[in-house]
Amino acid sequence: MCGIAGYLRLDDSVVMPDESLIGRMANSLRHRGPDEFGVYIDDYCALGHSRLSIIDLASGSQPLSNEDDSLWIVYNGEVFNYIELRSELKQAGHRFRTHSDTEVILHAYEEWGRGCLDRFNGQFAFAIYDKNRGAIFIARDRLGIRPVFYTVHNGRFIFGSEIKAIFCDRSVPRRLDYKGLDEIFTWWTTCPPRTAFERINELSAGCYVEVCNGEIKTGRWWEMSFPTEFDRGRSAESWAEELHELLVDAVRLRLRADVPVGAYLSGGLDSSATTALIKHFTDTRVETFSIAFQDKAYDESAYQVEMAEHLGTNHHQVSCTYHDIAGNFPNVIRHTERPIVRTAPTPLYMLSALVRKHDFKVVLTGEGADEIFGGYDLFKETLIRRFWSRRIDSPWRPLLLRKLYPTLPLSPGRARFYLETFYKAGLADPEAWTFSHQPRINTTIKLKEYFTEDAQKRIGGHSSVDAFGVDLPERFGDWHHLVRAQYLEVKSLLSGYLLSSQGDRVASANSVEGRYPFLDHRVVELGARIPPWHKLRGLNEKAILKRAMKKELPAAILSRVKQPYMAPDSNSFFCENRPDYIDELLSEQALAAAGVFKPEAVAKLKSKCARLSHAHLSFKDNMSFIGILSTQLLVSLFLDDFRPAETLTRENFSRFYDFRGQPSRKV
């Protein structure tokens, strides 16, 4: 985990900014990498790097050049198969002066050009500057685990791991993108390249951008795909054996580090599987970390302790209260750099702080298993709703949903009303590309009832629902209905929310790197080939993963019904001694000044949340309150009172590397 930043002038007539800018940009990312700092500057380009030292602690400093200093790289993340690639590149004649994966990327780019990306097994975002051509090449990993953003301003291409680095140039406009807000209040995230800020672009997962001779070209180098026909002759046991073997290797690669590696342990299947597989490669006790909640409706600590005892780990736990969530929420928004509609990232922010407190920089986590192997209720809902769609008037088919949600109202009449008003959405068109996600979309878009007329005008005719449907794969309509749902979940929620707001951003806030064995691209591609009926057997989620892990985990874990990770939402902000910022940001004056939400409507919602603070409100009310509050925080932190970092200097930091290049040659 590191922070990268830089800029490239697009025309000879453009005046380069004061050199202190790249120092401020690198310094704004110091939470991502507090161990070392480095900058490279020449007449056309500036690169900045903040390093979290994990591999090759002694000589892996950045920016790093090749043998003749014609190529320079800044890099965030890990290429886990760098040892194997290094051997191959040495045989091809490349000379290495470090033992870092950074130098492997640089020589791989020299050897294979853009094709090097296909050879990397990792999670990364990197920028390579070609001095001879005056060009820059930036790439992001397949699933979008590591972020990178960019803009064009005043004749310069500017990029950074986080948007705050770009905003260190005070001349870059800082304005909300209302179409981006519209997408967040539909899908929980924006569809790249759009972000929550105007003219600030996010490089999509599995994509690259090349800048040369003033031209900016983007392209896709990897896309998740599924077959239209599955192997019906292969047994589930055979698939499970291959999956287990691959997961063991994915974990092995992700344990490569020159610092200790721990693991998150939630008590569920995915993190338990990851932790169990770590034990294949160590004789020492694994260090595990988890969250306990004061509100027992969200607490899984009993399962966490049970699993830690079964695996014999040295377990650490942080307890999260309502007050903790309210108190830490502004810092979370400072790092997510976008509105969020749930508080779930906040306890994870606290969890990464616990990891860092125990002097760990790296943790393995179970993210990705639900998307790849069919773990979410959304997938079960899709199967039931599709069955229901064949007989929409059937009185009993929709009641299958009660097997998923036994806490639905007991009265058959009330249950029927709830099901028909929520899950019946889109039932008449089961082939629609949004079919699987329509109930979630219909709930989330209700948040837009709070938009002002001015906000609605700024959104204009933008269709947020269609955002992720613009570039669907050509064969999407031929895919099985379950894998269509999987694709959309990976494309939207996984990359844009789970791996961002609940992953990279809250972990890097405390200088911690998360690693995800289930998102090894080999595991993802194998999962895509496994027939849907081996993932969901009836309503038994992740059946193939359970079969693969049956020798590693106790029956209690394998048979336990999945409990989605959630955290207390609006009631966290109405506890005793609540922070002042809540009333300040939701005041009539602050709402009117921001201009996004109707003050009168927000006042009614706030009053309702306060009145029912000891109850559990509807999803719609909870998401509305959190979405409004987080947007107001975003305005306050980034538009009203943005404070760029101080300049990085040798005097401020002992491990600061300043590289000066000779003037570049434009072709």
How many C-beta neighbours within 10 Å does residue 621 have?
Answer: 18
Q: How far apart are CA 86 and CA 108, in angstroms?
A: 9
Give the CA distances from residue 653 to residues 503, 642, 647, in Å, rounded to whole numbers and listed in that order.
28, 24, 11
Residues 441/183, Cβ–Cβ less than 8 Å: no
Tokens 């925080």 correspond to what residue? 633
Contact 146, 207 (CB under 8 A): no
Residue 289 CB burial class (10 angstroms; 0-12, 13-18, ≥19):
buried
> Which residues 6+ apart lie within 8 Å of 497 measured at CB?
188, 189, 340
CATH number of 236-373+502-559: 3.40.50.620
- Sequence letter at residue 80: F
Burial class (CB in 10 A: 0-12, 13-18, 19+), 168: buried
Strand order in the sheet with 207-212: 64-65, 71-79, 122-130, 135-140, 207-212, 215-220
> Is 168 considered catalytic here?
no
Question: What are the average pLDDT values for consecutive 10-residue runs of the chain, which has 667 residues?
Answer: 95 90 94 94 95 89 94 97 97 95 97 98 98 96 98 97 97 97 97 98 98 96 96 96 98 96 94 94 92 92 92 96 96 98 97 97 97 95 92 84 64 61 87 95 93 96 93 95 97 96 97 98 98 94 96 88 87 90 97 98 96 84 97 96 76 72 45
Distance CA 15, CA 25 (A): 18
Question: pLDDT tens digit string along 556-604?
Answer: 888 887 788 899 999 999 988 889 999 999 999 999 999 999 999 999 9
Q: Name the residue with tokens 């969250």.
A: 291
Report the DSSP pairing between strands 656-660 and 36-41: parallel
* pLDDT of amino acid 495: 93
Catalogue the long-range contacts made by 540-544 (C-beta closer than 8 Å, 24 or more residues apart). Answer: 541/370, 541/373, 541/374, 541/375, 541/376, 541/379, 541/380, 542/269, 542/369, 542/370, 542/373, 542/374, 542/375, 543/236, 544/236, 544/239, 544/240, 544/243, 544/373
Q: How far apart are CA 333 and CA 626, in angstroms?
A: 11
Consecutive H or E run containing 158: strand 156-160
Q: Length of the chain, please?
A: 667
Q: What is the pLDDT of residue 667?
A: 29
Architecture of domain 2-222: 4-Layer Sandwich (3.60)
Summarize pLDDT for 418-445 with one digit per residue, the tens: 667 788 888 999 999 999 999 999 999 9
- 383: tokens are 């199967």
Residue 475 to residue 487: CA distance in whole angstroms = 12
Query: Residue 193: is the preceding peptide bond cis (ω within 30°)?
Result: yes
Q: Residue 183's pLDDT is what?
A: 97
Q: Catalytic: which of 2, 45, 320, 609?
A: 2
Q: What is the maximal distance between C-alpha atoms in the chain?
A: 77
Q: Which residues are within 8 A (CB) of 83 and not within 5 positions of it... i.e. 6 or more apart?
A: 256
3-state SS of 176-223 is ECHHHHHHHHHHCCCCCCCCCECCCEECCCCEEEEEECCEEEEEECCC
Does residue 449 contact residue 391 with C-beta atoms inside 8 Å?
A: no
All structural domains of the chain with their residue ranges: 2-222, 236-373+502-559, 570-640
The residue type of 539 is L
Burial class for 411, CB neighbours closer than 10 Å (0-12, 13-18, 19+): exposed
Two tokens at 650?
């040798």
Exposed, middle or buried, 232 (CB in 10 Å: 0-12/13-18/19+)?
exposed
SS3 assignment for 476-487: HHHCCHHHHHHH
| Pairing status of strand 45-51 against strand 36-41 | antiparallel
What whole-number distance in Å separates Cα of residue 169 and Cα of residue 151? 11
Q: What is the pLDDT of residue 136?
A: 98
Q: What confidence score (pLDDT) does residue 562 get? A: 79
Against a cut of 0.85, is the pTM above it?
yes
First-residue to last-residue Cα distance in the chain: 34
Give dist(CA 198, CA 619) in Å, integer.
Answer: 29
- 3-class state of residue 40 by DSSP: strand
pLDDT at 649: 66
For residue 56, the model assigns a pLDDT of: 85
Q: What's the confidence (pLDDT) of residue 650?
A: 64
Q: Give tens-digit pLDDT for 140-193.
A: 999 999 999 999 999 999 999 999 999 999 999 999 999 999 999 999 999 999
* CB 301 within 8 Å of CB 292: yes
Please list, in sequence order, all residues whose beta carbon lies within 8 angstroms of the beta carbon of residue 556, skipping any fewer than 6 positions away. 306
Instruction: Identify which of 44, 27, 45 has the alpha carbon closest to the alpha carbon of residue 36.
Output: 27
